[in-house]
């Protein structure tokens, strides 16, 4: 019997980030959402590719440039095949590329809606502590304290109290709770002597 339960939480955003800018059709700033579709245009030996977005308000399209006037021979074959087939994982990676989106607009909406897949990697139900490793393949828009509260079945104020009393430690320090979870981030929780230890262990794994 181990005194610590080890779990891995994989946190997956349900919605892609939405860049905000003025929509020429409905006027005013509007969020645009990825349609998940790629448009590829070959002109001689040059290639252009766009990821197609649609205005939340009116469905007006915005073509986000992915490659511009590039020599086809200079595009990695794997990328080219993925662009041609509209490979879902490839398109998702593009849609979550916040650095690239920020070069187009400073305002990007990130939804806090996530799915969390929990896997127990060690320990058992008799544990008095939990070690959580977070896997976050794409950036998510919710704070760590909200993720932990939902994932552990506790209130956010309780999460704050656990941090304040030293029972909860998150890599990244005291402000980590207010920031989004990072890929590979670790969280340690000490449950010794707590009345709802069993419920928290069950929720964690």
The site for Zn ion (CB under 5 A) is made up of: 23, 25-26, 30, 55, 57-58, 60
User: In this complex, which beta carbon is closest to Zn ion, that of residue 23 or of residue 154?
Assistant: 23
131/128 Cα distance (integer angstroms)? 10
CB of residue 93 to Zn ion, shortest distance in Å = 26
DSSP label at residue 29? E
User: In this complex, which beta carbon is closest to Zn ion, that of residue 28 or of residue 166?
Assistant: 28
User: In this complex, which beta carbon is closest to Zn ion, that of residue 31 or of residue 172?
Assistant: 31
User: In this complex, which beta carbon is closest to Zn ion, that of residue 33 or of residue 197?
Assistant: 33
Token pair of 1 as six digits: 């019997």
CB of residue 67 to Zn ion, shortest distance in Å = 26
CB of residue 113 to Zn ion, shortest distance in Å = 23
CB of residue 105 to Zn ion, shortest distance in Å = 14
CB of residue 61 to Zn ion, shortest distance in Å = 10
For residue 59, the surrounding DSSP H or E stretch is none
DSSP string, 63-120: EEEEEEEEEGGGS-HHHHHHHHHT-HHHHHHHHT-HHHHHTT-S-EE----EEEEEEE
First CA to last CA distance, the chain: 16
Q: Which residues contact 126 (CB under 8 A, 6 or more apart)?
A: 1, 3
User: In this complex, which beta carbon is closest to Zn ion, that of residue 58 or of residue 199?
Assistant: 58
> CA 182, 196, 121, 205 torsion: positive or negative?
negative
């Amino acid at each position: 019997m181990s005194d610590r339960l080890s779990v891995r939480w994989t946190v997956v955003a349900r919605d892609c980030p939405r860049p905000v800018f003025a929509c020429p059709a409905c006027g005013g700033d509007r969020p645009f959402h990825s349609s998940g579709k790629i448009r590829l245009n070959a002109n001689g030996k040059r290639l252009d590719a766009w990821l197609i977005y649609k205005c939340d308000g009116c469905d007006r399209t915005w073509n986000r440039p992915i490659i511009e006037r590039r020599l086809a021979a200079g595009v990695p074959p794997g990328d080219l095949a993925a662009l041609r087939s509209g490979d879902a994982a490839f398109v998702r990676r593009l849609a979550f590329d916040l650095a690239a989106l920020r070069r187009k607009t400073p305002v990007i909406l990130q939804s806090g809606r996530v799915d969390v897949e929990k896997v127990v990697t060690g320990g058992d139900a008799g544990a008095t502590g939990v070690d959580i490793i977070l896997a976050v393949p794409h950036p998510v828009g919710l704070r760590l304290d909200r993720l932990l509260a939902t994932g552990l079945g506790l209130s956010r104020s309780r999460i704050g109290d656990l941090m304040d009393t030293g029972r909860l430690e998150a890599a990244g320090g005291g402000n980590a709770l207010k920031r989004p979870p990072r890929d590979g981030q670790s969280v340690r929780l000490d449950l010794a002597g707590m009345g709802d230890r069993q419920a928290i262990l069950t929720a964690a794994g």
